Amino acid sequence: MTTDLVTYYGQTDLINQLVDNYGAHLEKLDRETKLLLRVTLSTYIVMQQEYTPTEYPVSTALEDALCELVIPDSIPQDLYDVCSVLNGLTTLEAETLLEALQHQIRWGNARQAVN
């Protein structure tokens, strides 16, 4: 079993679309984009307690989470593109992606180089 796949617990059509665009390990996304996606997905999950995916899409979570933390012009275009793919994401799918991103950032293809 490869442990830095996007998900190793199961795939959905939405996650499969993400894999088709960015690779089985999201290898087309750099470390910074994965870190920012993790912040965005965490915000999205919190807000799903009050809203539905159509009322509060991932793209809104991106704006809410990152525009205060990062200069909006410096947010990678790939992150906007990923959020567009994730339109209609369920909380369970978001949690699954967070788990995979955490693994990739700590142990996988997006870990920080050791000097």
The helix (H) or strand (E) run that includes residue 92 is helix 91-106
Residue 6 lies in a domain: no
Confidence check: pLDDT of 97 > 90: yes
Residue 28 lies in a domain: yes
Confidence check: pLDDT of 39 > 90: yes
Residue 73 lies in a domain: yes
**Which tokens sit at 99?**
């788990």
Residue 2 lies in a domain: no
Please report, for residues 21, 61, 70, 75, 102, the alpha-carbon distance to residue 4 in angstroms, rounded to integers and kept in the order given: 16, 25, 27, 24, 9
**Mean local confidence (pLDDT), 75-88:** 93
Range of the domain at 56: 13-107
**In the structure, what pLDDT confidence band is assigned to residue 5 with cuts at 50, 70 and 90?**
low
- What does pTM read for this prediction? 0.86
Number of domains in the chain: 1
Contact 57, 91 (CB under 8 A): no
Residue 79 lies in a domain: yes
Residue 88 lies in a domain: yes
